[in-house]
Amino acid sequence: MTSQQKKGQASVEDLREIAKAHGFSMRPQDESGYLSIVLATQESIEYVEKMKDYVDPGLIRDLNVDDRTYIQPSSSENPLNAWSHRTSIKAPSTVDNTGLLVGRTVAIKDNVAVAGIPITCGTQPFHLCKDKPAPIPAIDAPIISRILEAGAVITGTSTCENYCLSAMSFTSATGPVDNPWLRGYSAGGSSSGSAALVAVNLMKNRQRSNGLSVEHLGEGVDLASGGDQGGSIRIPAAYCGVYGLKPTHGLVPYTGIGSLFPVLDHCGPIAASIRDTATFLSVLAGYDGFDPRMTPETPLRAAVPQYHTRLGEQIATRVAAGTWTPQTAAKGLRVGILKEAFEIAGLDASVAAVIRKAAARFTALGASVAEVSVPLHLVAPHIFTAATRAYIADTLLFGYGASTSASLPFPFPGPAAFAPDQAWYDTMTASNPLVVGGIFSSEFLRDRARYPESVRDKAVRKVHELRAAYDEALERFDVLVMPATPTVAPRHADEGMGIGEKAQFVLANTLNTLPFNITGHPGLAMPVGWGRVDDGDEKNKGAKLPVGMQIVSKRWDEETLFLAAAAWEVGGLGLDEE
């Protein structure tokens, strides 16, 4: 029950209702004693609620929100609908030219707290709070401080999908985000705007856009942050022909970012090259002292590998040895082609062919390549759902869990969670019925008479089994490769789709990405070729869209991901092929 709903002093009648719901009744002589316990608890809660709030000083160091302004760009300035708000934020203190991101522009997914800039999580006005259209954070998420300290300029927040619960790009409150390669087609979700904006700059540098002028795309960025709870970095990257990394779970702090469910939450880089992806990860990664997703394996900031430097060193070693060539660049790498990833529902034969051709290039580059089987991969969606769905609505809509971890997180200050009502239901049913379905699923699955907690406990044990299965495969191989998505980017959803059809559509492209959200393995999506658009529309005849390959490595081994991807590109960039 939120603070906007009834409070009132606890009564014996309240306790009787609670007891009845749990299948027991109080004896009359017990009632006053139990009521005194609850009243004492209520007194403490209301006392603390009246106290002045506290913000950790480390989160507001050098922060001057008064210097920050923003606008909502016009449609002419935002032709892809990829921008949520435009701004220009630099570090308040002078940054010398040694910062890793000096001179780079960055877009921030609109589920990250950027002080002074509205945060919408892609949903309609007044859905996140009642007193203003969208909350305006007073402090920056740790990743924002790190980006600014590295010398970057944050030029805006990027459109994301409604409550970040869609792997397609048509659910945002502001309308669909178009794929920059072909208007009317999905940019992927939920980090839709982030991937589209990075692709804009990549396309302008290449001067290519399916034969069209790139000037119609508007302004893009060099780098963007993404969030990934089932593929929301990797799928947009694959559809838009850029690079997107879901890091190892707990490597990049998620503090101050809208959560879907803690075990699923990942923040990571979207960029236009392997090296930029590695550089951006070097800036983002490392322990922040607040995020309960982090573990003893998470490196302290001072110990974060400089992924871009390490990649350069590995390449330099191979250059010196004469092996960084189109015949030997991948020598020594053991590449596993994940068999079950080619057996997922809806896999387009042409996409499968592009990925198999890309995997075969590793052989030509000197790697050891073989097929590997992980049968649990095909049932991972069931494990994912059983382990998480009962509590997603509480986290996503009501903020539950931000202060209940076994460790001590820092819940960002903000308005009380919004209480859904009929208008909310009607809006969300039209925009993204998966969000409403989340409430129904969560409430139904939490009925302990039907599904005791032991059911979810078993599902979590199956997550451990799934992780172990991938770990075993990664003992025999350095990386696993597979299609990132079953198809190239499809058209946006048909407005005539029913609730069930629309809900299925927004998640149908996650079958090869979501398993690694629950197991925590890092996954990199990179462009490796093109697929033809075959939708019967004469005006799109001959048009092509990018095909993305996903590379997965051991947890905490992003270095090998970057090396494998860079070695593959010695044979040519994926978008160079026609």
Hey, which residues are catalytic here?
Answer: 109, 190, 232
Across the chain, which distance is largest between two alpha carbons, in Å? 87
Smallest Cα–Cα separation from 195: which of 286, 107, 312? 107
Instruction: Report how far Cα 411 is from the mean position of its chain's Cα atoms.
Output: 19
- Rounded Cα distance between 89 and 141, Å, is 14
| Residue 485 and residue 239 in contact, taking contact as beta carbons nearer than 8 Å | yes
- Rounded Cα distance between 127 and 331, Å, is 53
Measured CA distances, 570 to 72, 299, 326, 330, 353 (Å):
41, 31, 6, 9, 20
Give the DSSP H or E segment for 383: helix 380-398
Its sign, for the CA torsion 79, 82, 83, 88, is: negative
Paired sense of beta strands 223-228 and 243-246, if any: unpaired
| Residue 499 and residue 210 in contact, taking contact as beta carbons nearer than 8 Å | no
- Rounded Cα distance between 417 and 131, Å, is 11
> Both tokens of residue 129?
């709070």
- Rounded Cα distance between 101 and 262, Å, is 29
Give the DSSP H or E segment for 334: strand 334-338
